[in-house]
Amino acid sequence: MRKKTIGRKERRIRGKKRGSLAAVSLMSLVLAACGGGASQTTQPAQTETAAQESAVQEGEAGADEAGGQEQATEGNIGEEKGVDGQEAAADTDIATSMEDLAFAPGGKIESDTFTGNAYIKPMVMNDEIYNFPQTNNIIFEPGARSGWHTHGGMVIIGTGGTGYYQEEGKPAQIIREGDVIECEAGVKHWHGATPDSWFSQIVIYDSHYTAPEGAEAEEPVTDEYYEDLETEDYAGRVVTDDNLFMFQKAEEPLISDTFSGPAYVSSIIGDDNVADAPGLHYVVFEPGVINNWHTHEGGQILIATDGIGYHQVEGGEVEVLYPGDVALCPPGVKHWHGGSADTEFAHIAVNTNPELTGLEWFDRISEEEYGQLPTEKTEE
């Protein structure tokens, strides 16, 4: 079987149509700057069904020992002077159009404190089943940005292009695909795209945070300020130049009889993060590799990032997963997931309700069943 790798700029599935850009209400957008409080009804329907696997739990210890993603030297990022003296990202990190981004846009943000066009797509709603923090994907056009603002603890994850994140009193950090930043609760900051690139980011945050009395109101980042930014490369970058996936692929495969072939498990962020989210793991499946039916006592959430994959909950239809799709597996429900025959497939995996650690494995779908699986979504 011939391997087919989908690189950073090719990750969006050919022929996949973007969702319509429904307007988001102003109230939603005040929080949406970082991903806050947009209601589920403002977002095009997101694929929801089962979730991840035990490979993550089995491989979690090994991934954590390896430090999850491999450390890369800071010198691997090209530094050229861009608009008005700002440092520009290396050409390989520039997204010249929305089509260069892996994730599709959501509704357009309408807010007086935003500059330029930005789009919000809710991915995971905070609820009492998974107890996972509110999670959205935000896309900024070149030069677009939020205003200065504060909120609850937030994890910011680059999912495409190049952008900025700046805390008050510090240089603006240049953020690229695969970078992970933590913003403490109440810290004044802003984020957005560089002048020459689109930028996409996942935000995971505490939506129950209440600002202290007398907290400053949001205010725009002016053109004058933006054009004279003091910038620096983000020192926490761990994605290497030769990595072809959204996040760093683990060096060594996980080999288990509960998988049909090699899978690679690494860590994106641990469970001691500012958003109080369970740890996020990254799983890469070789072409044609899937796992067995299994259950997670606490449930699982998957976010597809690369290639084409599958997910199925017992009794339900097989879901075809493209980058940006979310699969939810309720606690105790049997499911399986993995990659298509012709692409390396990768997803973020979160074992929700982490105090519930039970995991049980069963048999695997047959090769005949796998051979009949589609690689395109069914038209709704």
Nearest to 337 by CA among 270, 380, 297, 285: 285
Residue 212 has what pLDDT? 87
Express each pLDDT in 231-268 by its tens digit: 999 999 999 999 999 999 999 999 999 999 999 999 99
Asked if 242 and 194 touch (Cβ cutoff 8 Å), the reply is: no
Instruction: Report, as an integer, the average pLDDT of 133-137.
Output: 98
Which pTM does this prediction carry? 0.81
Residue spans of the domains in the chain: they are 10-45+73-233, 54-63+242-371
Query: Which tokens sit at 262?
Result: 């090699």
User: Please, what is the average pLDDT of the chain?
Assistant: 83
Express each pLDDT in 205-231 by its tens digit: 999 999 888 888 899 999 999 999 999
CATH, domain range 54-63+242-371: 2.60.120.10
DSSP 294-318: EEETT-EEEEEEES-EEEEETTSPP
Order the strands of the 294-296 sheet from edge to edge: 319-321, 309-313, 335-339, 294-296, 359-361
Cα–Cα distance for residue pair 8/92, rounded to 1 Å: 9
Residue 91 has what pLDDT? 66
Residue 379 has what pLDDT? 65
The answer to whether domain 10-45+73-233 and domain 54-63+242-371 are alike in fold is yes
Cα–Cα distance for residue pair 173/156, rounded to 1 Å: 12
Residue 9 has what pLDDT? 43
Question: Beta partners for 166?
Answer: 190
Least confident of 19-28, 134-143, 196-205, 307-316: 19-28
**Which residues touch 163 (CB under 8 Å, ≥6 apart)?**
140, 174, 175, 176, 191, 192, 193, 194, 197, 199, 201
Residue 137 has what pLDDT? 98
Residues constituting the chain = 380
Residue 213 has what pLDDT? 85
Instruction: Report, as an integer, the average pLDDT of 112-123.
Output: 97
Asked if 159 and 102 touch (Cβ cutoff 8 Å), the reply is: yes
Instruction: Report, as an integer, the average pLDDT of 12-26.
Output: 37
- Using only C-alpha atoms, the chain has a radius of gyration, in whole angstroms, of 20
CATH architecture of the domain formed by 10-45+73-233: Sandwich (2.60)
Least confident of 58-67, 204-213, 278-287, 301-310: 58-67
Express each pLDDT in 34-87 by its tens digit: 444 333 333 333 333 333 334 344 343 334 433 433 333 333 333 433 444 444
Nearest to 353 by CA among 302, 303, 297, 304: 297
Query: Which of the two residues, 70 and 315, has the higher pLDDT score?
Result: 315
Q: Is the pLDDT of residue 28 over 60?
A: no
Query: Which of the two residues, 277 and 212, has the higher pLDDT score?
Result: 277
Confidence bin at 10 (pLDDT 50/70/90): low
Residue 380 has what pLDDT? 56
Alpha carbon 27 to chain centroid, angstroms: 24
Instruction: Report, as an integer, the average pLDDT of 151-172.
Output: 98
Express each pLDDT in 82-105 by its tens digit: 444 444 445 679 999 999 999 999
